[in-house]
Amino acid sequence: MKIEPVRFGVIGIADVELGYPDVIYKTPNTELIAVCDINEKLVEGCKEKYKVDGYLDYKELLKRDDIEAVYIALPHYLHYPVAIEALLRGKHVLVEKPIAKTVKEADEIIKIAEEKNLILAVGFQSRGLKFHSQIKEIIEKGEIGFPIRFILEDVKFRTNAYFSKKWRGNWQLSGGGCVINQMVHYFDLLYWYFGKPKEVYGKIKNLFHNVPVDTLVNGIIEFENGTNGVVSLSITDCPHTFYLEIRGTKGNILQKIEMCQDNPNRQIKKTEILKFTTSIPDWIKNCERGMKDVSYVKNVFEEEVIEFKNRDVLLEKFIKAVRGIDKPLCSGKEGIYSLEISNAFVLSSIKRMPIKIPIDRDEYEEILNKLEKGEIKI
């Protein structure tokens, strides 16, 4: 199908060769019109490489009538003001994850996008990867029955050098550590699989890094549909590993990713799908010999891949949504749930109690304010 190219502005470059303008430049059905960054060298590099206009002030870029959509790839504290300004200027918005620093900010961004009838999407590209989307399909088709519980472990390794970009290790500029930066990807997948979250009970900590934000997250998440499970997440462990176990009434899913220490992009991905010949409640009622009576069929898939951050599906769907022929991979309205979970973990850890979702917006702003000033610590 022929699609009229979407005219993009990119705010936040990060890297001339491999940064966000390059992603847009290489995506079909886009036209990169202008870029913006406070780093003049990056702007000049992009102007030369892509033959586009460059700005040091995002407000100037947003004044251009020929830009239809913006990709906001900025430190977290800037997502809110820049997304609001872009929407008020009539631009469709693709904002990198998390949608904002706090759910209160996210509420306002979503409201303005709705009022202006503009597309608002959040950069959760993992939904577009087969490894994850197959799980959504299996659950939706009822192949493992009702998903009773899950275990999710994702451990990564970041050193103090990672926090040399000052915004990343700073409550005011990032809104937290791994609980809002890396782990929102997994909170989004869990929301995608199980629906709206209901309650979070957890602990965030930092043991070794010289920043005040979290590097370890442990806890329980319960969803409105009744699914509940545990998460254990960190950026203090090496080598990187991802493990997901979902136990349903009619079957189980086990997924594992092992990342090679010398190249984290080289991954061994394994998915095991087990389907019982009847359901767990039936076995519990009728089996006399326990596990010996339970029969099942098991399939195992394993692949070794070189996995770069693949935003193909994210962008393809965003472009089509702008042209009115598809929906975003993750809309703003959906993208807020991962942030609800993230903010709830912080609140739960500070208050040492389970937190109901939606969280109390004003209470969270107050607690975050105290964390930012160092009046309370994790």
Ligand X SMILES: NC(=O)c1ccc[n+]([C@@H]2O[C@H](COP(=O)([O-])OP(=O)(O)OC[C@H]3O[C@@H](n4cnc5c(N)ncnc54)[C@H](O)[C@@H]3O)[C@@H](O)[C@H]2O)c1
List residues near ligand X by CB under 6 A.
11-14, 36-39, 42, 58, 73-76, 78, 96-97, 123, 125, 165, 181, 309
Query: Is beta strand 197-205 parallel, antiparallel or unpaired with respect to 216-223?
Result: antiparallel
Q: Round to whole Å and give the CA distance between 359 and 224.
A: 14
How far apart are CB 311 and ligand X at their closest, in Å? 7
Q: Round to whole Å and give the CA distance between 324 and 314.
A: 15
How far apart are CB 213 and ligand X at their closest, in Å? 13
How far apart are CB 61 and ligand X at their closest, in Å? 9
Q: Which is nearer to ligand X, 13 or 52 (CB)?
A: 13
Q: Round to whole Å and give the CA distance between 372 and 357.
A: 23
Query: Is beta strand 69-72 parallel, antiparallel or unpaired with respect to 6-11?
Result: parallel
Q: Which is nearer to ligand X, 39 or 261 (CB)?
A: 39
How far apart are CB 219 and ligand X at their closest, in Å? 21
Q: Which is nearer to ligand X, 191 or 201 (CB)?
A: 191
Full DSSP string of 189-238: HHHHHH-SEEEEEEEEE-SS-SSSS-SEEEEEEEETTS-EEEEEEESEEE
Q: Which is nearer to ligand X, 146 or 167 (CB)?
A: 167
How far apart are CB 167 and ligand X at their closest, in Å? 6
Q: Which is nearer to ligand X, 184 or 371 (CB)?
A: 184
187 close to 269: Cβ distance less than 8 angstroms: no
How far apart are CB 207 and ligand X at their closest, in Å? 23
Q: Which is nearer to ligand X, 9 or 219 (CB)?
A: 9
How far apart are CB 185 and ligand X at their closest, in Å? 7
User: From residue 358, how far is each of 95, 174, 283 by CA, in Å?
Assistant: 22, 21, 37
Q: Round to whole Å and give the CA distance between 359 and 281.
A: 34
Element (H, E) at 137: helix 130-140
Q: Which is nearer to ligand X, 111 or 309 (CB)?
A: 309
Residue 34 bridge partners (DSSP) = 9, 53
